[in-house]
């Protein structure tokens, strides 16, 4: 292996959010505990990005900067090379993150009181984008079919037909359940939404993190009609651990939608990204394919280790087999614990700082989401602490 995915990076006292949050929860937590919650990685960034930024800074003037032709070419090249979608550079709208783009989409394309459709359990900012902006949460629950989640299309279509529903926030690949939606599923989603004039805003931030045997299909790549009826949200942040750079690329083929979306950010005086975020994204999309391939192997190994460990030692804990993302969705409901007790078991007894399932909605109660983007030694230590905690509780 060319790259280092085994060194544990000390992220204490540098403002790393999930590390600081862990210490707010438990100020006595030991230095050997690594939080496995918020979706950024416990790996060093690709060296090509670090060295490339150093070289860039040697000759850069840190003034106002807009996307260059090289930047746009890198984004277009990545979409075509990795995902088979040939896009026009004019379709790219940069935003300082996908979450701000989700909020903006809700604000621009719906009105207070309108319904926004989501498939739950789902990434918690989806809820916040609606509740903060006085929109109505319209949820359709995914069906947990023996550990693999499926869409209840009868309920989905019934909700999409409601006159107040104007927008679908689609999570693809899905966070937290790790599904890669098939072409057939996406086509059915799109047909229902188009027929009912529901705009699709597709959060595809995990689109590069797909396990072997699965293929992510970008919503807008399915057809021209789908491209014209959607906003596709992408970023290099999850793929290359660049969340702090706050660089995201919205793909908006429909000119009218694009103009309205851009006008919203213009009204807030948000015109360009940080100068270094452009360069980091450009380097990632042109020089880091091999790093990504090795990363996917590490995630797969960690996934298989945890699934095998739990099946052997704690078969009552069911693991959803992730098809994409580096986030493992684990079902602890067989323990018979409420959310408060399960959270206490994890944080106080096991010293496991995960994302509690209930934050993803009612359908997440009794579940835990574990970040697998860390050295295997961290995963092994986490499982050992879980076993000790469960044994202490006679479980």
Whether the CB-CB separation of 17 and 35 falls below 8 Å is answered with no
pLDDT digits (tens, 9 = 90+) for 100-137: 999 999 999 999 999 999 999 999 999 999 999 999 99
CATH topology of domain 63-287: 3.40.640
| Residue in this structure with the two tokens 């000759």, named with its chain if needed | 59
Q: What is the pLDDT of residues 129-166, one digit of tens each?
A: 999 999 999 999 999 998 899 999 999 999 999 999 99
Hey, which residues does 331 pair with through a beta bridge?
A: 318, 367
- State the Cα–Cα distance between residues 109 and 199, nearest whole angstrom: 8
Rounded CA-CA distance 293/295 in Å is 5
Domains 17-47+288-394 and 63-287 in one fold:
no
Mean pLDDT calculated for residue range 301-318: 97
Domain ranges in the chain?
Answer: 17-47+288-394, 63-287
Give the pairing type, strands 165-171 and 199-203.
parallel
The distance from CA 355 to its chain's CA centroid, rounded to whole angstroms, is: 13
Could you tell me the pTM of the whole model? 0.96
> How many Å is the maximal CA-CA distance in the chain?
62
- pLDDT band per the 50, 70, 90 thresholds, residue 261: very high
Spatial separation of the C-alpha atoms in residues 209 and 217, rounded to whole Å: 12
Mean pLDDT of all residues in the chain? 97
Residues 50-92: tens digit of each pLDDT: 999 999 999 999 999 999 999 999 999 999 999 999 999 999 9
Domain covering 17-47+288-394 in this structure, CATH number: 3.90.1150.10
| Residue 44: how many other CB atoms lie within 10 Å | 14
What sign does the dihedral 350-352-353-356 (CA atoms) show? Answer: negative
**Between residues 219 and 395, which one has the greater pLDDT?**
219
pLDDT in tens, 348-363: 999 999 999 999 999 9
Closest CA to 133 of 153, 119, 114, 112: 112
Q: Which pLDDT value is given to residue 147? A: 86
Instruction: Say if residue 395's pLDDT is above 80.
Output: no
| pLDDT of 280 | 98
SS3 210: strand
């Amino acid at each position: 292996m060319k790259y280092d995915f085994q060194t544990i990076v000390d992220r204490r006292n540098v403002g790393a959010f999930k590390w600081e949050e862990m210490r707010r929860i438990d100020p006595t937590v030991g230095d050997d505990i690594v939080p496995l919650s918020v979706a950024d990685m416990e790996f060093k960034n690709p060296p090509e990005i670090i060295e490339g930024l150093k070289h860039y800074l040697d000759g850069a003037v840190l003034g106002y900067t807009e996307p260059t032709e090289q930047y746009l070419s890198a984004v277009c090249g990545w979409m075509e090379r990795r995902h088979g979608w040939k896009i026009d550079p004019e379709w790219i709208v940069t935003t300082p993150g996908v979450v701000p783009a989700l909020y903006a989409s809700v604000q621009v394309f719906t009105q207070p009181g309108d319904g926004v459709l989501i498939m739950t359990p789902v990434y918690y900012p989806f809820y916040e984008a609606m509740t903060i902006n006085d929109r109505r949460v319209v949820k359709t629950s995914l069906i947990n079919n023996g550990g693999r989640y499926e869409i209840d299309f009868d309920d989905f279509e019934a909700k999409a037909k409601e006159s107040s529903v104007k927008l679908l926030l689609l999570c693809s690949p899905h966070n937290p359940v790790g599904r890669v939606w098939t072409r057939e599923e996406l086509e059915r989603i799109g047909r229902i939404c188009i027929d009912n004039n529901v705009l699709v805003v597709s959060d595809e931030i995990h689109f590069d993190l797909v396990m072997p045997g699965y293929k992510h299909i970008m919503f807008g790549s399915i057809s021209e009609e789908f491209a014209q009826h959607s906003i596709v949200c992408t970023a290099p942040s999850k793929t290359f651990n660049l969340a702090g750079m706050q660089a995201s690329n919205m793909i908006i083929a429909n000119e009218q939608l694009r103009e309205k979306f851009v006008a919203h950010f213009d009204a807030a005086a948000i015109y360009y990204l940080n100068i270094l975020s452009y360069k980091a994204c450009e380097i990632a999309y042109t020089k880091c394919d091999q790093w990504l391939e090795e990363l996917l192997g590490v995630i797969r190994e960690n996934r298989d280790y945890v699934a095998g460990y739990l099946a052997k030692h704690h078969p009552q804990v069911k693991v959803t087999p992730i098809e994409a993302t580096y986030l493992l969705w684990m079902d602890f409901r067989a323990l018979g614990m409420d959310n408060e007790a399960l959270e206490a078991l994890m944080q106080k007894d096991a010293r496991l700082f995960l994302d509690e399932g209930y934050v993803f909605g009612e359908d997440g109660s009794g579940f835990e989401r574990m970040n697998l983007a860390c050295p295997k030694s961290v995963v092994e230590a986490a499982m050992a602490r879980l076993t000790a905690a469960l044994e202490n509780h006679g479980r």
